[in-house]
Structure 1
Protein backbone atom coordinates (compact mmCIF):
# COMPACT_ATOMS: atom_id res chain seq x y z
CA UNK A 1 0.00 0.00 0.00
CA UNK A 2 1.44 3.37 -0.95
CA UNK A 3 2.41 6.01 1.61
CA UNK A 4 -0.14 8.36 0.05
CA UNK A 5 -3.01 5.94 0.73
CA UNK A 6 -1.72 5.29 4.27
CA UNK A 7 -1.63 9.02 5.02
CA UNK A 8 -5.17 9.46 3.64
CA UNK A 9 -6.46 6.57 5.74
CA UNK A 10 -4.76 7.89 8.90
CA UNK A 11 -6.11 11.39 8.25
CA UNK A 12 -9.57 9.91 7.77
CA UNK A 13 -9.34 7.95 11.02
CA UNK A 14 -8.24 11.10 12.88
CA UNK A 15 -11.17 13.04 11.39
CA UNK A 16 -13.60 10.26 12.40
CA UNK A 17 -12.25 10.24 15.98
CA UNK A 18 -12.61 14.03 16.20
CA UNK A 19 -16.13 13.91 14.80
CA UNK A 20 -17.13 11.12 17.22
CA UNK A 21 -15.69 13.01 20.20
CA UNK A 22 -17.47 16.21 19.16
CA UNK A 23 -20.74 14.37 18.65
CA UNK A 24 -20.45 12.63 22.03
CA UNK A 25 -19.70 15.92 23.80
CA UNK A 26 -22.65 17.77 22.28
CA UNK A 27 -25.06 14.90 21.75
CA UNK A 28 -28.67 15.96 21.58
CA UNK A 29 -31.45 13.57 22.44
CA UNK A 30 -34.32 14.09 20.06
CA UNK A 31 -37.10 11.55 20.03
CA UNK A 32 -37.71 10.29 16.49
CA UNK A 33 -41.03 11.46 15.16
CA UNK A 34 -43.26 9.17 13.17
CA UNK A 35 -45.53 12.05 12.17
CA UNK A 36 -44.92 15.54 10.82
CA UNK A 37 -45.76 18.26 13.29
CA UNK A 38 -45.48 21.30 11.00
CA UNK A 39 -45.02 24.87 12.21
CA UNK A 40 -45.37 28.49 11.21
CA UNK A 41 -41.60 29.11 11.52
CA UNK A 42 -39.17 27.23 9.32
CA UNK A 43 -37.25 24.57 11.16
CA UNK A 44 -39.31 24.49 14.33
CA UNK A 45 -40.59 21.03 13.46
CA UNK A 46 -39.44 19.97 10.05
CA UNK A 47 -40.43 18.73 7.59
CA UNK A 48 -43.45 20.87 6.84
CA UNK A 49 -46.94 19.96 7.92
CA UNK A 50 -48.17 16.70 6.44
CA UNK A 51 -50.28 15.19 9.21
CA UNK A 52 -51.80 12.64 9.38
CA UNK A 53 -49.18 11.10 7.09
CA UNK A 54 -46.04 9.40 8.42
CA UNK A 55 -42.78 11.33 8.14
CA UNK A 56 -41.46 9.13 5.32
CA UNK A 57 -44.53 10.03 3.24
CA UNK A 58 -43.75 13.76 3.51
CA UNK A 59 -41.14 13.56 0.74
CA UNK A 60 -38.02 14.07 2.88
CA UNK A 61 -36.82 10.45 2.85
CA UNK A 62 -36.23 8.07 5.76
CA UNK A 63 -35.50 9.45 9.21
CA UNK A 64 -32.39 8.01 10.89
CA UNK A 65 -33.31 9.28 14.38
CA UNK A 66 -32.02 12.11 16.60
CA UNK A 67 -32.87 14.68 13.94
CA UNK A 68 -30.82 12.94 11.24
CA UNK A 69 -32.26 12.10 7.86
CA UNK A 70 -30.91 9.55 5.37
CA UNK A 71 -30.38 12.46 2.97
CA UNK A 72 -28.59 15.36 4.66
CA UNK A 73 -30.47 17.91 2.54
CA UNK A 74 -33.65 16.89 4.40
CA UNK A 75 -32.29 18.02 7.79
CA UNK A 76 -33.14 21.36 9.38
CA UNK A 77 -31.48 22.17 12.70
CA UNK A 78 -32.69 25.77 13.00
CA UNK A 79 -35.48 24.85 15.43
CA UNK A 80 -33.06 23.20 17.85
CA UNK A 81 -30.60 26.09 17.43
CA UNK A 82 -33.38 28.54 18.35
CA UNK A 83 -33.84 26.78 21.71
CA UNK A 84 -30.09 26.25 22.23
CA UNK A 85 -30.07 22.47 21.74
CA UNK A 86 -28.48 22.03 18.30
CA UNK A 87 -25.38 19.82 18.11
CA UNK A 88 -21.99 21.27 17.23
CA UNK A 89 -21.59 22.26 13.56
CA UNK A 90 -25.38 22.37 13.00
CA UNK A 91 -27.29 25.59 12.21
CA UNK A 92 -24.34 27.75 13.21
CA UNK A 93 -25.57 31.36 13.11
CA UNK A 94 -24.01 33.73 10.57
CA UNK A 95 -24.98 37.31 9.68
CA UNK A 96 -28.69 38.12 9.77
CA UNK A 97 -30.92 35.05 9.40
CA UNK A 98 -28.19 33.00 7.71
CA UNK A 99 -26.93 29.74 9.20
CA UNK A 100 -24.48 27.02 8.22
CA UNK A 101 -24.70 23.28 8.94
CA UNK A 102 -21.77 20.98 8.22
CA UNK A 103 -21.88 17.21 7.82
CA UNK A 104 -19.33 14.45 7.34
CA UNK A 105 -19.36 10.70 6.90
CA UNK A 106 -16.33 8.44 6.86
CA UNK A 107 -16.27 4.70 6.21
CA UNK A 108 -13.07 2.74 6.59
CA UNK A 109 -12.88 -0.99 5.92
CA UNK A 110 -9.93 -3.35 5.89
CA UNK A 111 -10.20 -6.81 4.31
CA UNK A 112 -7.67 -9.61 4.71
CA UNK A 113 -7.83 -12.42 2.13
CA UNK A 114 -6.09 -15.69 2.99
CA UNK A 115 -6.02 -18.34 0.27
CA UNK A 116 -8.40 -16.47 -2.07
CA UNK A 117 -10.34 -18.89 -4.27
CA UNK A 118 -8.46 -21.60 -2.36
CA UNK A 119 -5.15 -20.66 -4.00
CA UNK A 120 -2.20 -20.72 -1.62
CA UNK A 121 0.46 -18.06 -1.81
CA UNK A 122 -1.90 -15.36 -3.08
CA UNK A 123 -2.84 -13.78 0.26
CA UNK A 124 -3.50 -10.06 0.18
CA UNK A 125 -5.04 -7.24 2.17
CA UNK A 126 -7.03 -4.27 0.98
CA UNK A 127 -8.16 -1.07 2.72
CA UNK A 128 -11.18 0.85 1.50
CA UNK A 129 -11.94 4.45 2.42
CA UNK A 130 -15.04 6.43 1.52
CA UNK A 131 -15.69 9.94 2.74
CA UNK A 132 -18.46 12.48 2.22
CA UNK A 133 -18.44 16.09 3.43
CA UNK A 134 -21.29 18.53 3.04
CA UNK A 135 -22.44 22.04 3.83
CA UNK A 136 -25.92 23.54 4.01
CA UNK A 137 -25.90 27.34 3.86
CA UNK A 138 -29.32 28.85 4.55
CA UNK A 139 -29.61 32.57 3.87
CA UNK A 140 -33.24 32.76 5.04
CA UNK A 141 -36.43 30.67 4.89
CA UNK A 142 -36.54 30.78 1.09
CA UNK A 143 -32.92 30.70 -0.09
CA UNK A 144 -30.31 28.05 0.57
CA UNK A 145 -27.22 26.46 -0.97
CA UNK A 146 -26.42 22.78 -0.36
CA UNK A 147 -23.45 20.77 -1.57
CA UNK A 148 -21.73 17.44 -0.92
CA UNK A 149 -18.37 16.14 -2.09
CA UNK A 150 -17.18 12.55 -1.81
CA UNK A 151 -14.04 10.52 -2.28
CA UNK A 152 -13.35 6.81 -2.60
CA UNK A 153 -9.90 5.29 -2.13
CA UNK A 154 -8.47 1.80 -2.14
CA UNK A 155 -5.06 0.56 -1.19
CA UNK A 156 -3.35 -2.81 -1.36
CA UNK A 157 -4.31 -6.04 -3.06
CA UNK A 158 -3.70 -7.25 -6.59
CA UNK A 159 -7.37 -7.29 -7.52
CA UNK A 160 -9.07 -4.74 -9.73
CA UNK A 161 -11.62 -2.51 -8.03
CA UNK A 162 -14.53 -0.48 -9.31
CA UNK A 163 -14.24 3.17 -10.30
CA UNK A 164 -16.22 4.25 -7.23
CA UNK A 165 -13.14 3.39 -5.15
CA UNK A 166 -10.69 5.29 -7.34
CA UNK A 167 -11.68 8.93 -7.30
CA UNK A 168 -9.90 11.80 -5.63
CA UNK A 169 -13.08 13.83 -5.16
CA UNK A 170 -16.39 14.20 -6.90
CA UNK A 171 -19.30 16.56 -6.48
CA UNK A 172 -22.27 14.48 -5.31
CA UNK A 173 -24.92 17.17 -4.94
CA UNK A 174 -25.09 20.91 -5.49
CA UNK A 175 -28.31 22.92 -5.44
Structure 2
Protein backbone atom coordinates (compact mmCIF):
# COMPACT_ATOMS: atom_id res chain seq x y z
CA UNK A 1 0.00 0.00 0.00
CA UNK A 2 1.43 3.41 -0.95
CA UNK A 3 2.45 5.74 1.81
CA UNK A 4 -0.47 8.17 2.20
CA UNK A 5 1.70 10.77 3.91
CA UNK A 6 4.20 10.96 1.05
CA UNK A 7 3.99 14.18 -0.93
CA UNK A 8 4.51 14.24 -4.68
CA UNK A 9 7.99 15.39 -5.66
CA UNK A 10 6.73 18.16 -7.92
CA UNK A 11 4.97 19.79 -4.95
CA UNK A 12 8.26 20.26 -3.11
CA UNK A 13 10.00 21.47 -6.24
CA UNK A 14 7.29 24.07 -6.86
CA UNK A 15 7.59 25.28 -3.28
CA UNK A 16 11.37 25.61 -3.63
CA UNK A 17 11.03 27.80 -6.71
CA UNK A 18 8.77 30.21 -4.89
CA UNK A 19 11.26 30.74 -2.09
CA UNK A 20 13.36 33.85 -2.40
CA UNK A 21 16.94 33.15 -3.35
CA UNK A 22 19.04 36.07 -2.10
CA UNK A 23 22.08 35.10 -4.17
CA UNK A 24 19.99 34.90 -7.34
CA UNK A 25 18.29 38.20 -6.56
CA UNK A 26 21.67 39.83 -5.99
CA UNK A 27 22.98 38.44 -9.28
CA UNK A 28 19.93 39.73 -11.15
CA UNK A 29 20.14 43.12 -9.49
CA UNK A 30 23.88 43.57 -10.11
CA UNK A 31 23.56 42.34 -13.71
CA UNK A 32 20.76 44.79 -14.36
CA UNK A 33 22.87 47.62 -12.97
CA UNK A 34 25.86 46.43 -15.02
CA UNK A 35 23.73 46.30 -18.17
CA UNK A 36 22.63 49.88 -17.64
CA UNK A 37 26.19 51.02 -16.90
CA UNK A 38 27.48 49.26 -20.02
CA UNK A 39 24.77 50.99 -22.06
CA UNK A 40 25.89 54.31 -20.67
CA UNK A 41 29.49 53.44 -21.67
CA UNK A 42 28.31 52.23 -25.12
CA UNK A 43 29.62 48.72 -24.42
CA UNK A 44 26.68 47.08 -26.17
CA UNK A 45 28.06 43.54 -26.31
CA UNK A 46 28.55 43.33 -22.55
CA UNK A 47 25.23 45.05 -21.92
CA UNK A 48 23.53 42.48 -24.16
CA UNK A 49 25.02 39.58 -22.18
CA UNK A 50 23.91 41.14 -18.89
CA UNK A 51 20.37 41.64 -20.21
CA UNK A 52 20.26 38.02 -21.36
CA UNK A 53 21.28 36.88 -17.90
CA UNK A 54 18.72 39.09 -16.18
CA UNK A 55 15.83 38.18 -18.48
CA UNK A 56 16.57 34.46 -18.35
CA UNK A 57 16.88 34.40 -14.56
CA UNK A 58 14.07 36.86 -13.85
CA UNK A 59 11.48 36.94 -16.65
CA UNK A 60 9.38 39.29 -14.50
CA UNK A 61 11.69 42.08 -15.73
CA UNK A 62 10.75 41.57 -19.39
CA UNK A 63 8.25 44.42 -19.56
CA UNK A 64 10.53 46.72 -17.57
CA UNK A 65 13.63 46.01 -19.69
CA UNK A 66 12.07 45.48 -23.15
CA UNK A 67 12.94 48.89 -24.63
CA UNK A 68 16.49 48.94 -23.26
CA UNK A 69 17.00 45.35 -24.38
CA UNK A 70 15.83 46.17 -27.91
CA UNK A 71 18.07 49.23 -28.08
CA UNK A 72 21.03 47.16 -26.86
CA UNK A 73 20.28 44.38 -29.34
CA UNK A 74 20.06 46.77 -32.27
CA UNK A 75 23.27 48.61 -31.35
CA UNK A 76 25.17 45.38 -30.71
CA UNK A 77 24.02 43.73 -33.97
CA UNK A 78 24.95 46.92 -35.82
CA UNK A 79 28.49 46.58 -34.44
CA UNK A 80 28.61 42.88 -35.27
CA UNK A 81 27.45 43.61 -38.81
CA UNK A 82 30.09 46.31 -39.28
CA UNK A 83 32.90 43.86 -38.46
CA UNK A 84 31.41 40.98 -40.46
CA UNK A 85 30.43 38.78 -37.52
CA UNK A 86 27.26 37.64 -39.26
CA UNK A 87 26.79 34.34 -37.40
CA UNK A 88 27.10 36.14 -34.05
CA UNK A 89 24.57 38.73 -35.25
CA UNK A 90 21.99 36.05 -36.05
CA UNK A 91 22.76 34.20 -32.81
CA UNK A 92 21.89 37.39 -30.92
CA UNK A 93 18.59 37.68 -32.77
CA UNK A 94 17.79 34.04 -32.03
CA UNK A 95 18.48 34.61 -28.33
CA UNK A 96 16.34 37.74 -28.37
CA UNK A 97 13.47 35.92 -30.07
CA UNK A 98 13.67 33.13 -27.49
CA UNK A 99 13.00 35.75 -24.83
CA UNK A 100 10.51 37.80 -26.88
CA UNK A 101 9.04 35.48 -29.55
CA UNK A 102 6.12 37.81 -30.21
CA UNK A 103 8.08 41.05 -30.49
CA UNK A 104 7.23 42.57 -33.86
CA UNK A 105 10.05 45.14 -33.64
CA UNK A 106 12.73 42.46 -33.16
CA UNK A 107 11.19 40.30 -35.92
CA UNK A 108 11.16 43.26 -38.29
CA UNK A 109 14.76 44.17 -37.49
CA UNK A 110 15.95 40.61 -38.04
CA UNK A 111 14.08 40.63 -41.34
CA UNK A 112 15.90 43.82 -42.34
CA UNK A 113 19.28 42.17 -41.70
CA UNK A 114 18.23 39.07 -43.62
CA UNK A 115 17.05 41.21 -46.53
CA UNK A 116 20.31 43.20 -46.70
CA UNK A 117 22.28 39.95 -46.73
CA UNK A 118 20.26 38.54 -49.60
CA UNK A 119 18.05 36.10 -47.67
CA UNK A 120 14.84 37.41 -49.21
CA UNK A 121 12.54 34.46 -48.44
CA UNK A 122 13.57 34.37 -44.78
CA UNK A 123 13.22 38.15 -44.53
CA UNK A 124 9.69 37.97 -45.96
CA UNK A 125 8.82 35.38 -43.30
CA UNK A 126 9.98 37.66 -40.49
CA UNK A 127 8.16 40.69 -41.91
CA UNK A 128 5.02 38.60 -42.30
CA UNK A 129 5.23 37.40 -38.67
CA UNK A 130 5.67 41.00 -37.50
CA UNK A 131 2.58 42.06 -39.48
CA UNK A 132 0.53 39.19 -38.09
CA UNK A 133 1.41 40.36 -34.59
CA UNK A 134 0.71 44.01 -35.38
CA UNK A 135 -1.09 44.62 -38.69
CA UNK A 136 -0.77 48.41 -38.37
CA UNK A 137 3.05 48.32 -38.05
CA UNK A 138 4.15 50.60 -40.95
CA UNK A 139 7.84 49.61 -41.04
CA UNK A 140 7.02 45.90 -41.29
CA UNK A 141 4.39 46.56 -43.97
CA UNK A 142 6.82 48.64 -46.03
CA UNK A 143 9.54 46.01 -45.63
CA UNK A 144 7.15 43.21 -46.55
CA UNK A 145 6.11 44.96 -49.77
CA UNK A 146 9.73 45.77 -50.60
CA UNK A 147 10.82 42.15 -50.25
CA UNK A 148 7.73 40.96 -52.15
CA UNK A 149 8.82 43.14 -55.08
CA UNK A 150 12.21 41.44 -55.01
CA UNK A 151 10.67 37.98 -54.94
CA UNK A 152 8.42 38.54 -57.97
CA UNK A 153 10.23 38.17 -61.27
CA UNK A 154 10.57 41.46 -63.15
CA UNK A 155 9.00 40.12 -66.36
CA UNK A 156 5.69 39.70 -64.48
CA UNK A 157 5.44 43.46 -64.10
CA UNK A 158 6.10 44.03 -67.79
CA UNK A 159 3.48 41.46 -68.72
CA UNK A 160 0.89 42.85 -66.29
CA UNK A 161 1.44 46.40 -67.55
CA UNK A 162 1.14 45.47 -71.25
CA UNK A 163 -2.19 47.22 -71.94
CA UNK A 164 -2.57 45.89 -75.51
CA UNK A 165 -2.04 42.32 -74.35
CA UNK A 166 -4.42 42.72 -71.43
CA UNK A 167 -7.11 44.26 -73.67
CA UNK A 168 -6.92 41.28 -76.07
CA UNK A 169 -7.20 38.84 -73.16
CA UNK A 170 -10.22 40.73 -71.83
CA UNK A 171 -11.88 40.62 -75.28
CA UNK A 172 -11.18 36.88 -75.60
CA UNK A 173 -12.63 36.20 -72.14
CA UNK A 174 -15.74 38.27 -72.89
CA UNK A 175 -16.21 36.44 -76.22
CA UNK A 176 -15.89 33.05 -74.47
CA UNK A 177 -18.38 34.03 -71.77
CA UNK A 178 -20.91 35.33 -74.32
CA UNK A 179 -20.48 32.19 -76.42
CA UNK A 180 -21.01 30.05 -73.31
CA UNK A 181 -24.13 31.98 -72.36
CA UNK A 182 -25.62 31.47 -75.85
CA UNK A 183 -25.06 27.69 -75.61
CA UNK A 184 -26.76 27.56 -72.19
CA UNK A 185 -30.03 29.15 -73.46
Bin for the TM-score computed over the shorter chain: under 0.3
- TM-score normalized by the length of structure 2: 0.22
* Structure with more of its chain in strand, by fraction: 1
* Structure with more of its chain in helix, by fraction: 2
Larger radius of gyration: 2
- Determine which structure has greater relative contact order: mean sequence separation of CA pairs < 8 Å that are 6+ residues apart, divided by chain length: 1
- TM-score normalized by the length of structure 1: 0.23
